[in-house]
Homo-oligomer: A and B are copies of this chain.
Amino acid sequence: MKKYLCGVDIGGTSIKFGLFDMEFNLLERWSIPTNLSSNGSLILKEIAASIVEKTNIDEIEGIGFGVPGPVFRDIIQKCVNLGWDRVDLKKEFLNIIHRDDLIIHVSNDANTAAFGEYKHGIAKGHTNVAMMTIGTGIGGGIISHGHIVDGVNGVAGEIGHMIVDHKYGFSCNCGKKGCLETVASATGIIRLAHYKLEHTKTPSALRNYPNGFSAKKVIDYAKEGDSLALEVVREVADYIAVMFANMTYTINPDIFVIGGGVSLAGDFLIKLIEERYYPYVLPFVTKTNIKISVLGNDAGIYGAASLVKS
């Protein structure tokens, strides 16, 4: 008798696991460090060992995986951070764990986070959902009519690389310039703040940190009214608003969900984004939900487990 579902969220630093009952109550949550040695070839073995150790594997109906790279029809195309090229995870994992009756599904990690929020979080009950995760970089996931949209190259929702900046032209890791990620990720926020500190004389509390500061610090000072910090966060909100407008004219989602570390800025950030968003989409759109993720770091394991049974 199958009693459980398992969600696995594979990141470049750690691998998160969630054990759920069939009603998606989270029974247990644990994590292991990601073993990047030997081009990540030990990762699946260690995941299997951890699941066997922590659970009664015979009672698990299926395991869903979120991975940090593009996935097309359950085949991983590449995960640079793990050292993986094309991987048929289902086949390899079943070869390791020897349980042919296990249901295995895999999707991109940002897509599984979006799916988690759609099935069990803030986006529950909506039809079309767009999620943006703002951390070191910017990821995204799209749900349309209940399906994760992966896209023909598995890059649907890679909104961090939408070109929105026509002013600074910072270089992105992807090789292009002007990507959203260069100006609106945590790294981008710090970059914009340094740029403004260097190119203006505006007084700012940020000038008191010669050894650098975090994106959180910029946001905290912006909340307190520091004019340079506020200018930075307003500009970030504007870039996000442009991108949300582009997505609105594409799939017109019921809800945009913002997750990742920068989402801790909360209502302050939402309000600034809304102020900029509506001028880009009126008169067509007068009310779009823009909300902060409620599942936070657990969105990935919820979404991964939901791939098994949705």
Binding site for B on A (CB under 8 A): 70, 126-128, 130, 142, 144-145, 147, 149-159, 161-163, 166, 174-176, 242, 245-254, 279-280, 282-288
Q: Least Cβ distance of A238 to chain B in Å? A: 12
Residues of B within 8 A of A144 (CB): 144-145, 147, 149, 251
A166, B163: Cβ atoms closer than 8 Å = no
The oligomer's copy count stands at 2
Q: Least Cβ distance of A196 to chain B in Å? A: 21
A284, B252: Cβ atoms closer than 8 Å = no
CB contact between A245 and one of B153, B162, B282 (< 8 Å): that residue: B162
User: How many angstroms from the CA of A157 to the CA of B175 in the assembled complex?
Assistant: 29
Q: A245-B163, A284-B70 are in contact. Are A252 and B145 (CB under 8 A)?
A: no
User: How many angstroms from the CA of A151 to the CA of B256 in the assembled complex?
Assistant: 13
Residues of B within 8 A of A249 (CB): 155-159, 161-162
User: How many angstroms from the CA of A286 to the CA of B130 in the assembled complex?
Assistant: 24
Q: A145-B144, A246-B246 are in contact. Are A151 and B163 (CB under 8 A)?
A: no
Residues of B within 8 A of A286 (CB): 153
- 3 nearest interchain CB pairs? A151-B252, A156-B252, A152-B254
A153, B252: Cβ atoms closer than 8 Å = yes
